[in-house]
Structure 1
Amino acid sequence: MEEKKFDANSIIGFLLLGAIMLWFMYTNKPEEQVQETQNTETVTEAQQFGAPVAGNLETSPLSDSIANLEAQKRLGDFAYSASLGSKENGTTVIENELLKITVSNKGGQITEALVKNYKTYDSLPLYIIKDANAAFNINFGTTSNRIFNTKDLVFQPELSKSGENTILSMKLKVSESKFLEYRYELKPDNYMLGFSVRSVGLSAVINSSNAINLNFDLKSYRHEKSIKYENQMTALVYEKEGGKIDDLSISGDDEEEESEVSWFGFKQHFFSTILISETPLKTAKLSSNTLFKDVAKDSVFTKAFQVAAPLALSGGELNYNFELFVGPNDYELLASYDKNIENIVDLGWGIFGWINKHAFIPLFSLLGGFISSYGLVIILMTIVVRIFMSPLVYKSYLSSARMKVLKPEMTEINEKYPGKENAMKRQQETMALQRKAGVSMMAGCIPALLQMPVFFALFRFFPAAIDLRQQGFLWADDLSSYDSIYKLPFTIPMYGDHISLFPILASVAIFFYMRMSQSQQMNMQQPAQEGMPDMQKMMKMMMYFSPIMMLVFFNSYGAGLSLYYFISNLLTITIMLVIKNFIIDEDKIHAQIQENKKRPEKKKSKFRQRMDDAMKQAQEQQAQQKKRK
């Protein structure tokens, strides 16, 4: 048998092979935060610069070289931007007299937006964007099978001037001549920020077969005293399909997918963030979620908004021109930009909005131009509106007086034709009497109906008037919010945890107004007929129901709106008393009616003739049915 000998070369070979295997395993160990899906790597900011360095430890040239190699491996074409050394937490500020905008190197996005000339309800600086409540991101793929999110990458800032305008260019670079750029331009004394997104020389880098998505998210901060009221006025509003204005539900979570979106706005009660696209977004998915749930609990935010929209390449490059408005919901200010964004202010639909735009906004601005107290502006505006509407009040009251004079004769007709079988005959005789006397129930209803658009227009106007914000009057410290005179130690459902005085005064005034109106309406009401509901009882219920509803729901509404209703009802009561006691003479009205009855009846209109024929035919059918029975 051959004796085995020690082979030194074999041992050395095995050791070298083992060392090579250990080196291979070490250099190819799985990296943290690298997620592969279908051979496509998603690159985040943590991977852009390699592993974070703890404390203030200095890095050696070797570690820097390793970090650069790691960045080269993960970022591919965008490794050059990572090598330029811009700090992740670095920021650049651009500002004018109205805005202070802070843009972060990370993501090249706005991280702070301060509206300078306004304060929060608790006298703090008013930030629309702060502490990561907003995120702007573009998600895209590259030809090297990587997916990038711009919000995770570090841009290179370049600040410059163009005349009086401040320009900030944020570039994510492939090289000095190839980059993705966010360009911000701020003009003096302006809330509108020029904003463009473009790529230069990236047609060979961006993978056109992958979707390129813009995402803009924002959680709206609470800025007003009544968070419940503010939440009711907070919504995502947008313009689509060549001028159609729409919004998501304010009462709960909502989501829509729309086409041809030219602008969308994250609207809060008195402030908005609006992104306007020069080229309408072909499609956009918009969503809104309510963060404020419980009035008894304090909340920092009201709603969370999200917008996602695909971006199209032009010649292999991105090229989008936007404008970004960050500022107050001042209707005239927004209208001055000629972008249709003034429609973000809810002034009511149809005729209500038209009245506000063409009557009440100019009137309010005119009065506010020479009166410093907005409480007095509301009172004076209410007086003007009531004087303007007084002819309608007069017409309504005059019709009521005529019906009152005619009521005894209508009672005689009811007594002459009693019972259900004579209902048609009673109605026919009553209408003939009114026509002959020159009296019509519609003459009293039409003036009341004509006042309704004004009523609803002002209901929308005062909550939208930013000029009332933080303006005090008497005991109210803010006419745009509730005027609490006592804080309750508990919360009453629907009412709240405080007592507001102006809604109480408005409720008392509306009670007496409805009491006067009830007697007026009863004069116009025909005598009670068999089988008909008791209108008097219904009107009594309304007399108590309306003030109670106002007392409950207006407790958390703006004091300016309650002040208007209080003054308006007082003035209406005064006008009605003046008309009743000093203008209308019932004896003269009675004499006029008697004269009218003596005149030959005018030829019936075709409509009146058809009505009379239909009533006559119905009466004959009734008579035939009675004979058969």
Structure 2
Amino acid sequence: MDKRTFQALLVCFAISILYLNWIVPPPENQQASDPGVSDPVVSKTTVGGQDAEVLPTRPKLSSGAVDSGPNKTAQAVTEISALTAGSNTFPVRSVSLSNSDLDLKFSSQGAILTEALLRGYHESVDDEFPLPVISPKLKSQGALGLRVSSLNLDLTQRNWEVLKQTDSSVSFRTQISDDQFVIHHCSIHPKDGFEISSRVSFGGTWPAGTELYYEILGAERIRFDASGRAASYPNQWVHAQRNKDGSLMEAVHSGVEALESGEVTKTKVAWGGLESNYFAQVIRVEDGLEFPTANLIVKGAAPGVNESLYDQYSDEGIQGWPMRVGFRRMIDPSSEHEYAFFVGPKDPEVLDANQSWDAIQLIDYGFFGWLCRPFLWLLRISESVLGSWGLAIIFLTFCIRAVLHPVNKRNQRQMQVQQQGMARIKPQMDEIRERYKSDPTTQHRKTQELFKQEGVNPAAMFGGCLFIFMQLPIWIALINTFSVAIELRQTGFLWIDDLTQPDMLFQMPFALPLLGQWFNLLPIVYVVVTLVNQRMMPKSDDPQVQAQQKMMTFMMMAFGFIFYSFASGLLIYFIISALVGIVEQKMIRKELAAAGIGPGAASVVASQGASSPGPAGPGKGPGRPGRGKNRS
């Protein structure tokens, strides 16, 4: 390239820059947002004494949007993003739908469900008003909102026209452009039920051959009752995918937390939603197909975004981190998309009525669900016979203790036998300690040889601790049962109003650190009963046994502190179990004493007119466990 050619190109480039920046007039109403995305300019006016949005008209879609070139999708998105709603303006209206189970409120501002109340449930025992599970007070931010994600067009910010309204249905319409609109129809069963039918249709002329997507999302938060596990995991999001044959996979329950990318997507999802311990909102595709699925989208907040605000919500008893669960689907003007939105209790009877989508999977009993289910079955049977959930819990306690009795008896026998064995070999142990006090390695080896020779196992003396740890799965299962089983919610017993909450005998004039302002009697009764039980244990001069008893006492007091804010129904189980344990210990010790085992063996034998066997020698008597070897 010669010098003149280069200069000519440079001059042409300079002229182009000058023309584009100083000669061409700037575009009108240009926004400082994403160049491929622009939202409608909204102004305010007054219609019928109410504020309403006025959305000005923009040009129709140009014919270039249906061009078959390689960039037709990007071109269509750019052109549609320049559209707004039509010139129609409507006042903001609140629409109420109801049946015997639900009271719903929709708003034309976004065509969203703003409030869902359950008629058969209440805030407290004395409350007569329906229980809100989705509401502004819970910071739910509305459900069933639509958003055209391909255009970054949030339809929840528009004021929709109410086309038609009845006691059980409502239809909304919003104009995207002169020849494009969206209709959102919502309805419920006029008599009963917890499901909302949602139908979405995109009407008018839309670009051919383009992939434009929209989203329909649930509420950000749902009500939870803070008790047990629910206090740590207020809301969870749940979804169920389908296998290739159309069958449903096992539902996956995940905690609500910050999302690194702000959203999560899943494919081939049958249903998904947000749940708490007792309530759930679930959306699923209902397009008339045998096994309908769609792409699930989960939207939340990124780490560090508004974290202090969400912490404040948690302190107020509201779900902290927000999360919306819904579907992202391609816009299809030729068909109507239908959804079913369940908002209601996680009651087995209600969920069993929705077997088509296996709704019973909403109830998550955790890892020990195999224990929770038989416990609940027995509680239901007992309550139907006894007429009281409190008495049913007491009956369940007796049943569990009866099943554990053989294990407890065996542990107690081993403990007593080993204590006798340790008492018998104490002189030999003292001799070994004195002889090898300067050689710990040899002392330990000789001691272990003595244990093996005499058939003594010191670890067996800790059977009491082992018995407690064996009950941990039962305790965890019961904690989950009282946290998840809605049948127990607001069921009373004695002075207790709600067996799923602390007994809250009275409110103190001050708050205790970590314990709160309510005085809960049951945890204190539990600690007292367990301490009495420990005091009734036979005394021992063995340092290991004494250490075990001290550890047991400390554990019981620690459990009382941990359980202070737990469900009162769970504390009833613990107290009755401890009382039964006291009686059981007396029975077991009496049986062992009759067999010549334990501290009371000598007196029992004497009362029967026989001589006491005393501490048995090697290979002799009940005090000598195992066979062992005779010593020379």
The two structures share one fold, judged by TM-score above 0.5: yes
Partner Cα distance (2:591, 2:389) in 1 = 33
Question: 2:354 is paired with a residue of what secondary structure?
Answer: coil
Pair 441,498 (structure 1): closer, same or farther in 2 beyond 3 Å: closer
Residue in structure 2 matching 1:180, options 163, 168, 182:
182
Pair 598,455 (structure 1): closer, same or farther in 2 beyond 3 Å: closer
Tell me which residue corresponds to 1:491: 511
Which has a greater percent of helix? 1
**Alpha-carbon displacement from aligned partner over 1:578-614 (angstroms, at most 9, x marks no partner):** 2223565242788798368999969xxxxxxxxxxxx
Partner Cα distance (2:563, 2:133) in 1 = 28
Tell me which residue corresponds to 2:400: 385
Pair 94,453 (structure 1): closer, same or farther in 2 beyond 3 Å: same
Question: 1:275 is paired with a residue of what secondary structure?
Answer: strand
Quick check: 2:394–2:573 contact (8 Å CA) kept in 1? yes
Shift in Å at residue 576 of structure 1?
A: 1.4
Which amino acid is 1:494 matched to? L
Matched, 1:434 2:419: no
Quick check: 2:182–2:202 contact (8 Å CA) kept in 1? yes
Matched, 1:356 2:349: no
Matched, 1:562 2:571: yes
* Pairing 1:270-289 to 2, within 5 Å after superposition: 270-277=278-285, 278-281=292-295, 283-287=297-301
Partner Cα distance (2:146, 2:525) in 1 = 54
Matched, 1:543 2:557: no
Tell me which residue corresponds to 2:147: 139
Which amino acid is 2:480 matched to? R
Partner Cα distance (2:50, 2:529) in 1 = 74
Partner Cα distance (2:503, 2:370) in 1 = 30
Quick check: 1:237–1:344 contact (8 Å CA) kept in 2? no
Extract unaligned runs of 5+ from structure 2.
1-25, 62-79, 242-248, 286-291, 602-612
Quick check: 2:201–2:337 contact (8 Å CA) kept in 1? yes
Which amino acid is 1:273 matched to? Q
Partner Cα distance (2:571, 2:553) in 1 = 18
Partner Cα distance (1:157, 1:424) in 2 = 90
* Pairing 1:302-381 to 2, within 5 Å after superposition: 302-307=319-324, 311-313=328-330, 321-331=338-348, 333-334=350-351, 337-338=354-355, 339=357, 341-349=359-367, 352-357=368-373, 359-381=374-396
Aligned-pair RMSD on alpha carbons? 4.7
Which has a greater percent of strand? 1
Which amino acid is 2:142 matched to? A
Pair 81,586 (structure 1): closer, same or farther in 2 beyond 3 Å: same
Question: 2:282 is paired with a residue of what secondary structure?
Answer: strand
Quick check: 1:482–1:559 contact (8 Å CA) kept in 2? yes
Quick check: 2:272–2:284 contact (8 Å CA) kept in 1? yes
Quick check: 1:393–1:447 contact (8 Å CA) kept in 2? yes
Matched, 1:128 2:138: no
> What's the TM-score once normalised by structure 1's chain length?
0.70
How high is the sequence identity, in percent, across the aligned residues? 19
Quick check: 1:156–1:172 contact (8 Å CA) kept in 2? no
Matched, 1:410 2:413: no
**Alpha-carbon displacement from aligned partner over 1:206-226 (angstroms, at most 9, x marks no partner):** 962x664444442445x75x6
**Alpha-carbon displacement from aligned partner over 1:159-212 (angstroms, at most 9, x marks no partner):** 689xxxx6655444679997534444534542233445454566428962x664
Quick check: 1:463–1:561 contact (8 Å CA) kept in 2? no
Which amino acid is 1:139 matched to? R
Partner Cα distance (1:230, 1:182) in 2 = 35
**Alpha-carbon displacement from aligned partner over 1:230-249 (angstroms, at most 9, x marks no partner):** 64351223236643623226
Quick check: 2:417–2:624 contact (8 Å CA) kept in 1? no
Pair 577,170 (structure 1): closer, same or farther in 2 beyond 3 Å: farther
**Alpha-carbon displacement from aligned partner over 1:2-45 (angstroms, at most 9, x marks no partner):** xxxxxxxxxxxxxxxxxxxxxxxxxx9987x977642643127x
**Alpha-carbon displacement from aligned partner over 1:226-270 (angstroms, at most 9, x marks no partner):** 6998643512232366436232268x9997735346544433343
Question: 1:311 is paired with a residue of what secondary structure?
Answer: strand
Quick check: 2:162–2:170 contact (8 Å CA) kept in 1? no
Quick check: 2:180–2:206 contact (8 Å CA) kept in 1? no
> What's the TM-score once normalised by structure 2's chain length?
0.70
Tell me which residue corresponds to 2:414: 399
Extract unaligned runs of 5+ from structure 1.
1-27, 60-66, 529-533, 603-629
Partner Cα distance (1:493, 1:440) in 2 = 39
Shift in Å at residue 73 of structure 1?
A: 2.8
Question: 2:220 is paired with a residue of what secondary structure?
Answer: strand
